[in-house]
Structure formats: structure tokens, C-alpha cells
Amino acid sequence: MSVGVNLPVEVWRVVLAYLPLPELGRCSLVCRAWRELILSLDNTRWRQLCLGLPECPRHPNWPSQPHLEPSSWREAMRQHAIASRTWSRHAHPELQPSSCLHLFRRRKERRVWQVGSGLELETLRGALVVAGSYDRVVLHPGVYEEQAELVLKVPVEVVGLGRLGDVALLVSLEQQCPTARLSNLVFMPAWFSTVVYKTSSGHVQLDNCNFEGAQLQIQGPGTCHARFCSFSQGSSTHFLGVALSLLDSCDFSGSDSASVTVEGAPVTERNWACKHLAALARITTSWTSPGSGSPAGDNLGGHSGATRPPGATITLEDWSKGETESRRRRGGEEGGCQDTVIEDGWSDSAPSEEEEEEEKEEEGSGQGNNSLNYRLAHSHHGLSHLLTPNQDDSPTLTPEIRTLTEELQRDPGAQALVETVQGCVLRRCLFRDGKGGVHVCNHGNARLEGNVFRGLTYAVRCIQNATIVMLRNEVCECRASGVFLRLSSHGLIADNNIHSNGEAGLDIRKGADPIILCNRIHSGLRSGIVVLGNGRGSIRSNQIYNNKEAGVYILFNSNPVVSGNHIFQGQAAGIAVNENGRGVIVENVIRENQWGGADIRRGGDPFLRNNYICHGYSDGVVVGERGRGLIEENHIYSNKGCGVWLMSSSLPQLLGNYITHNRMYGLAVFCRKDPDGGGTREGGQEGGGGRGGGQENFHEEGELLAWEGDLDIDCERLCAGYSSSTALVEGNCISRNGAVGLYVKSSEPLNVVANLVNGNRGAGVAVLQSGQLTRLVANCVRGNGRGGVTVERECRVELRGNGVYDNGGHGVSFRGDGQVVENDVVGNRGYGIRLTDSADVKVLRNRVQPVQGCGIAVLGPAKAVVHDNLVFQGHPGNVKPPLHRDPGNDGSALRNNSVTCSSAPAWVLENPPPRPLSDRPSYLPPSASHHPSHFVNSMTTRITATVESGCHNNGSVFCTIL
């Protein structure tokens, strides 16, 4: 020791690298310095010893990641040693003498039996007959075939000599003893059975074995521990009622059914090995955030090729940079910041002939800059509090996604699943190039950790009240759905990377109710997650992106909870709810999707609350034919289409949403109905949740993805979803959108109550078609680029209790039929209330102050009853009369109106104060926020809508969802 005290550490490492394992252990006990020196040999001597183990010479990360070095070769070798001793921990009866003979106890020596051609024992059957308990049977290279089933009646270890493949067994073994171990063997089926090994009570350990076209059967209370084994050419394992078994680092390939089948509830009886397997299966890995182990080549930028991380927040500058590419992608369509031309020659951005003429008159008279001094104060109206969040033009910051640790701390049920569910445990296995991966059924329990499923028809099927826990697996390139749950199955699916699958990444149906946390579900050829056929589930804090169809697709009476997810860069809708789908969709970030952020149709009836729906390449929320839902307190902003797009016959309830900075309309109610046929969008590419024609379905049992067959629809109950038969838009802030704030072209009734329509580039409210009554009640229409409220011919509209302030055109321009009652129309650039063409209107008890032009004007053949209005003088230079009726118009009556001139005292709006009023007037309809809890139930399926190029002449720019 003293001679080598001054030797460099490098020389010591060279010397110690020649020591065998026992000597290394002794040296590590000398002192702390020596121990650290021994530990520093991890990548040299410890690696050499680990790969040289005769029981298992495989790489520790075989088979899924053999190119990656383990964190510690010494620790990997330690785990090998612990696992190798597990099979023999059962107490030997002959090694338990009486207490009086304790001092004379002597351990029985294990015998080694050599078996092979030309040796004393030539057959495996002969060796098993003579072998004693815990003896070692060494098979020399060759093929060992038996014509009848062999029975293991005493614990024994069977080892193949030489390299893996030198010893092949064509046998069928049944274990009837407490324990056995087999290593370095190739199992092939005998002529009379494909089952090569089975046990129903004991424990078997398989190390470094190959199964070729064979089956392994374990029945509870029997247990199995398979390590570094290969199952190929249709081989499989079947676990029936097992309490605990462990498959570690195994390779499954070429299966013609499920590679691993777990069936039956775990039996209550436990054999001796369960406590040792539980120690081996115990989780010690600390939780990390999803995405930390993203595979190489995974592009988070989606279709745009961007390198932005999935949780990044987009600024307005980032958004403006993509406008040119968006126009190219959408076939040269001009965005909403250009003049949006609507059919019939109506434009929401270009001024009318009358407005152009009035602008010229105003510029000539110099009234434009001084008119503010003469306007009535109205800043304290009932919706003034909604103006505060919109003074800043930057979009709302989106919330960060929660980590798995945070989610487990918030959900004791998910934490309990992590800690308790075991059954069949599969760790670090590779499933590839076959039909099925893992099939769990009939109350079975399974736990999957760190496995790779690649190139299968499906990765995992969990059915018939089974329970599954999936942690940190990779599921990719499946021809059907990656993970498939149905028939009241449940469990936890967390921190997995599910991508590039031919069908949905996750398919949940028929009463399945899993917890899905913190997964990355992306790059699928169809939807990310599909919930249908009364499926449920809690889908939280996942990153769902770059899928060709809907990120989350809900249909056929399904009712999941979708919360806290980031759903982005999809090539269709973010969330689609269809065919009487339901769901609670809260606090998600839905951004950068090609089509609608949320798409609701055909009886879809979700509850959307506090979501961030932004930066979409089309509309924010689309409510299509017969769509319903409670859409409440969402932030819908910076979408390149409309903020919200409503179809006729849809009955949503829009309450308290912020609809801002969208390039087209803030809220559009359009009469275009979905065609009954299955339309596709341009280029033949289907969107949303669609299914391409002629595409083969790979689900078992001949399921042609016939989602209709999963229906249990009660039409009467679904039709009674809401107590109201009229769509309701209440308490929303519709601000700073690129065209009209609220655009109505519908044949259905509509209630618009207590909304702030502020600062939009076009008119505040434009009603171009209204076959049934549209009620505008207690809204504030303020500071819009063109007129405040515009009502075209043949429309039925009621304006009551609104405040129409400081708009760039006429305050109210009316060409249709209806009433204008008890409104404040103040400070608008054109006329206060303008009635023209074929208008037939009652104008009662309004307060009006024009900046220029007339206060109330009846032009042309309009029919009007104008009673009890109060008109304040505008700019002193305004030469137009406060009240005007064209000569020869005998069909109108102007009576009992008051005009306040400049000599009167200071003008104020009082008794009542500026409208809309802060207290909810008694004439308002009941709020949907007080409706019962059935508002939170919703779902989706085949949606069809034709998408045309250009603007909204032919309908919304959402995708086809089939």
C-alpha cells in the first residue's frame, strides 16, 4: 500500500481494471478514497463485467435503446445480480433442520448435470428425472425434442451452454414446483402444442431466452419474471388472473394477435415470489415534465416548420410574420384586414355613398377635430368595466401547462393508481412489426412503463372493466389507434409520447373512463384523441399538436372532461364536438390550428369555459348546424377568420367571452347550412375528425370504425338539452376585430344581450338578414370604425336599452322592420337614427345626439312612428335639423319629441344614467348561466361542411369533419 500511495489515479485505474468482481468489492471496503476509485471505473471495468455476465450478456438498454448508455453500469450489474437471485429465495425444506441441530446445519451442495449428445445424460427428460431441488442442468449445444409434455416437480435451473441459439428446445413444459429458472434457451413449439411453458402456482424466471412461434402461459397465483427475452414469429404470453408478474427488457415482434394478453381479475392468493417481485417492480424514478424525452427528429413546429417549443406564447409580432404564408396556404385568400366583401355588394369596411358624402362635408366644415367638445358624457355606462382589459392591444398571456407531479398532487385518485395498480408489469420492452401489443381484458390489471410500441396494428387494448397504468411509453406508427379503451375500462395514461399513428392516438369508447395526463399526442394521420359511444375520461395537461384531424374529437353521447391541455398546430379543428357529443372543456390553450379552434355541430352540446382560443388560421369557435353548448368566459383572439361563427339552427349560449383582435368578424351568425352530403375541402383533403374514403380499418372484430354502431342515442333527451329555443349572446366583449363586430345573416331568432361591441374596424352590429326577430338589448356599441347598428331590408330587429356611442358612421341605420326603444345614441359621426328605404319602425323614448347630420331622419318611403324621443344638439356648426322627414312622406308620424338646444343648461344623461344600465333590467331574458348542470354535457361525430375559397360568401372557412 505504501509503495503505491503516490501513484496517479489513472495508473490505479489501469491496475484495478484487471481485478475480478469479488476483489473489486473488497477494495471498495478499504476506505472512502478507494471506494470512489472503484466507482470511477463505471465506464470501463464495470461495463466489461456487466456485458460479460453469462446469464444475460445483453446491453442494459436492450431492446428499445441499445445505443444509449445506462446511467450507471455498476447499478445495472447490481440489478442483474438481484434479479438473478430472486428465483432461489424460496426456502428449501431440507435446509430447515430442528432448532436443536442449529449448530450442525450444513447447506446442501447444488449438483450440476451436464446434458448432451455423448454425455452421461442425453435428454432433458432424463436430466429432470434425476435432478434434485435447486440443481443446475446445463444443456450443451443441440436440439432437444420431446414427444410428450414434461413436468417440473422439483425446483431446478436449466441453462443453455454457449451462445444464444445454440440450444433449442421443442418441448412443452408444465411447472408443478414452487420455482424454476431457465436461461440462454430457444423455445419452439412441440408438434402437439404451441404452449411451451405453463404454470398455475409456482414462480418461473426466464433470462435471455428466445420464443419462436410459441406461447407462454401463467395462471394465478403463479408468477413470472422474464428478462431480456425475445418473442418472435407469432409468439405470445398469456396471463390469467395473475397478482403480479414482471416482463423486463423483452422484445416482441411479428405477432399475429396480441403479444401480451392479461385476462381476469388478480386472484387473492399470493405465492412466495410476490413480495420479491413487488420490490423489483417498485417505482423509483422521479417524475419529469412531458416532452423531456422527445425522440430525435420530432418537429414541434408542426406544419409551419417553426422551432417554437410547444408551450411558448405567441406575440402579435410573431403572428404578423406568418400572414404571407397563411395567404399562400389558403389559396391567395385576402385576410380580414382587407375590405371584406360580403355577397349582395355589402361591404363592412368601405363607407357607403352617404357616409362618403358626409365625410366630405365634415372635412369642409372643420367639425371633425372639435366635435368631442360637444358630446354628452357617457363613460359611466353599465358595461364600462369591460373596456379596461382591452386598452392594451397585446393578447392575453396563456397559462403554462402543468407537470405530472403537479397533476398527481391535485388528483389523489391518479396518485393511487400510480402506487397500487400492478398485475402484469411490463418495463422497457419493445413491441414491433405485428398486429397487437398488449391486450388487457375482463377485469385484468396491467402496468406499462418505459416501453416502445412501433409498427403495430394497435399498441394497447384495454376492455371489459380492465385497469391499466401507462407511464413514459412511446406509441408510434400504429396502423389503427395507438391506445384503445372501451367497455368500462379505466386507468391512468401519463407522460407518454404517442405519435404518427394511422388512426387516433387514443380511442375511448363504450363507457371507458381513463385519466389521461401530461402526454404528448402528435403527428397523427387522424385525430389526437377520439371519445365516442358514451366514452368518458379526464384529459388533462396534455400537449396535442400537429394531427391531421381534430386534436380532441368528441361524439356519440361521450362526456369527457378536457382541461388544461395545449392543443395546437393541428391541420384541422382543435376540439370537435359532434353527433350529440358532450364534454366539459375548460382552461385549455387552443392555438394555431388550421381550422376552427372549437367546432360544434349536429347536436354537439359541450360546456366551454375559460379556454384560450387564439392564433388560428380560421375561426376561433364554430357552432354548426344544430350545434349547442354553453360557451362561457373564453378568450378568443387573434384568429385569422372570425372569433365565433354560428350557423342557422344552432342554439349556443355565449356568455362573458372576450372576442378580440380577430381578422374578420368578431361574431358572425350566418344562414349557411351544412350540406347533407359528405363534402371535402379543397385539394381532396379531409379535416376535423374525418375518415378518408376507401381507407382500410384495422380494428378487431370486423369493426369498420362503424361509430354509428356504438350509438345509444336518446333523441328526446338530447333535444331537451336547453330550456331556451333561441340562441343567446350575453355579456361578451367583442372588441378590435378586423371587420364587423357582430354580423347577422340568419333565418333563426337571436337574443343579443348586454354585450360590449367596441373598436371594431367595420360596423359595430350589422344585420343583413333576419327572418325571425333579432333582439339587441342593453348592449354598448362604441367606437367602431363604421356605423353603430346597421339593419338591412326585410330584417326584423328590436333595439332596446342599448348605448350606441362614438361610432364612425350613423348611430343606427335602419332599412328593415322593428323597434328602436329607450336607447342612447350619442356622439356618432353620421346621423343619430337614420330610417330609410322600406323601413317600418317604431322609434320611442330614445336619447339622441349627433355630431353632425340629423338626430332622427326619416328618408324616402320609410314608415316610422317617432314618439317621445329626446334629441340633443350636436356641433354648433351642424346645419342639419335635429328631426327630419322627407317631404311627401305621409306614412310616418313624428309626435311629442323634444329638442334640447345650445341655450339649455349643461347636457347630461341622467334619469336614467347612460345606457346600458348597470342593473339587469326586468325586460331582459333569463340568463343561461342559471341553467341546470346539463349544460356541461356534450359530444361529436361526422361533420360535413363545404369549404370554399375566398371570404364568407359561401360559409365559414372551417374544415370538413366527417
Tell me the average confidence (pLDDT) per consecutive run of 10 residues in the chain, 962 residues long: 58 70 73 76 69 65 72 68 71 46 56 91 93 93 93 93 92 94 93 94 92 95 93 95 94 94 94 87 46 39 38 41 43 38 47 55 48 67 73 67 95 92 93 95 96 96 96 96 96 97 96 97 96 96 97 96 97 95 96 95 95 95 92 95 88 93 94 44 35 34 35 35 73 94 92 95 94 93 95 93 93 94 92 91 93 87 91 77 84 85 64 83 55 32 27 38 32
Helix ranges, 779-870 (H): none
Domain count, the chain: 2
pTM > 0.85: yes or no? no
Instruction: Note whether residue 828 is domain-resident.
Output: yes
Predicted confidence at residue 57, as pLDDT, reads: 64
Sorted by sequence, the CB contacts under 8 Å of residue 833 that are 6+ apart come out as: 810, 811, 812, 814, 820, 825, 843, 846, 848, 855, 856, 857
Residue 904 lies in a domain: yes
How far, CA to CA in Å, does 344 sit from each of 718, 762, 812?
37, 17, 21
- For residue 52, is it within any domain? yes
Q: Is 834 exposed, middle or buried (0-12, 13-18, 19+ CB in 10 A)?
A: buried
Q: What one-letter code names the amino acid at 380?
A: H
Instruction: Give residue 1's identity as a one-letter amino acid code.
Output: M
The Cα 451–Cα 470 span in angstroms is 9
Among residues 871, 887, 909, the one where a domain terminates is: 909
CA proximity to 623, closest of 678, 674, 657, 677: 674
DSSP-derived 3-state class of residue 73: helix
Give a yes or no: residue 614 inside a domain.
no
DSSP 190-230: BTTBSEEEEESSSEEEEES-EEES-EEEEETT-EEEEES-E
In a domain, 110, yes or no: no
Amino acid at 738: G
CATH number of the domain that residue 897 is part of: 2.160.20.10
Residue 322 is assigned to a structural domain of this protein: no
At 64, the amino acid letter reads S
Last-in-domain residue among 862, 890, 909:
909
Helix (H, G, I), strand (E, B) or coil at 829: coil
Q: Please give the backbone phi and psi of residue 16, each rounded to the nearest 5 degrees, phi first.
A: -70, -20
Minimal CA–CA distance to 237: which of 213, 219, 221, 216?
216
Place of cell 331568432: 749
Q: Extract the C-alpha cell encoding 55.
A: 446469464
Please give the Cα distance from 656 to 676 (Å, whole number): 33
Contact 792, 814 (CB under 8 A): no
What is the distance of C-alpha 401 from the center of its chain? 12
Query: Which domain covers residue 809, as residue numbers?
Result: 740-909
- Maximum separation of any 2 CA atoms in the chain, in Å: 131
Give the model's pLDDT for residue 56: 61
Question: Is 208 a member of any domain?
Answer: no
55 domain-assigned: yes
Last residue of a domain, one of 909, 928, 943: 909
Determine contact, residues 121/130, Cβ cutoff 8 Å.
yes
